Amino acid sequence: MRRDQAGDERAPVRDDGRRGFLKCAAGLAGVAAAGLSREATAADRGRDSGRTLPDRVPFHGRHQAGIVTPQQLFAGFAGFDVLAENREGLEKLFRTLTHRSRVLAAGVKPRDEQVAAEEPTPDSLTITLGVGASLFDDRFGLSGHKPRHLKAMPAFPDDRLEPARCHGDLSLQICGQHPDAIVHVLRDVARETDGLLRPRWRSDAFLNPSRPSGSPRTFVGFKDGIVNPDTESTREMDRLLWVTPPCGEPDWALGGSYQVLRLIRFHVEKWDKVPVDRQEKIFGRHKASGAPLGGKQETDLPDYRRDPHGEIIPLDAHIRLANPRTAKTDDSRFLRRSYNYNNGFDTHGRMDLGLVFAGYQQDPERQFATVQQRLEHEPLAEFITPIGGGYFFVLPGVQDPDDWFGSQLLKKI
Res. 158: pLDDT tops 80:
yes
Residue 6 lies in a domain: no
Q: Return d(Cα 11, Cα 14) in angstroms, integer.
A: 8
79-132 pLDDT, tens digit each: 999 999 999 999 999 999 999 999 999 988 777 766 665 666 779 999 999 999
Q: Return d(Cα 236, Cα 263) in angstroms, integer.
A: 27
SS3 307: coil
Q: Which of 73, 88, 177, 69 is nearest to 128 (CA)?
A: 69
Q: Total domain count for the chain? A: 1
The larger pLDDT score, comparing residue 146 to residue 209, is at 146
Q: How confident is the model at residue 5, as a pLDDT?
A: 38
Phi, psi of 210 (to 5 degrees): -85, 120
Residue 2 lies in a domain: no
Strand bridging mode 197-206 / 74-82: antiparallel
- Give the rounded distance of the alpha carbon of 395 from its chain centre: 15
Residue 364 lies in a domain: yes
Q: Return d(Cα 157, Cα 155) in angstroms, integer.
A: 7
Residue 8 lies in a domain: no
Amino acid in the structure at residue 113: E
Q: How confident is the model at residue 111, as a pLDDT?
A: 73
Residue 3 lies in a domain: no
Residue range 255-280: average pLDDT?
98
What is the number of other CB atoms lying within 10 angstroms of the CB of residue 277? 10
Residues near 159 by beta carbon (within 8 Å), at least 6 away in sequence: 4, 385, 386, 387
CATH number for the domain including 93?
Answer: 3.30.70.3420
Helix (H) or strand (E) holding 322: helix 318-322
Residue 119 lies in a domain: yes
Residue 162 lies in a domain: yes
316-349 pLDDT, tens digit each: 999 999 999 999 999 999 999 999 999 999 999 9
Res. 163: pLDDT tops 60:
yes
SS3 220: coil
β partners of residue 80: 170, 199
Residues near 253 by beta carbon (within 8 Å), at least 6 away in sequence: 147, 243, 393, 396, 409
State the pLDDT confidence band at 395, using cuts at 50, 70 and 90.
very high
276-292 pLDDT, tens digit each: 999 999 999 999 999 99
Q: How confident is the model at residue 411, as a pLDDT?
A: 87
Q: Which residues in 66-166 belong to E strands, given as ranges?
A: 74-82, 126-131
Q: Return d(Cα 174, Cα 76) in angstroms, integer.
A: 5
Range of the domain at 255: 17-410
SS3 375: coil
Amino acid in the structure at residue 86: N
Residue 4 lies in a domain: no
Q: Which residues in 72-216 belong to E strands, given as ranges?
A: 74-82, 126-131, 170-176, 197-206
Mean pLDDT of the chain: 89
Q: How confident is the model at residue 211, as a pLDDT?
A: 84
Kindly report the CA angle at 263 between 270 and 396, in degrees rounded to 5?
A: 155
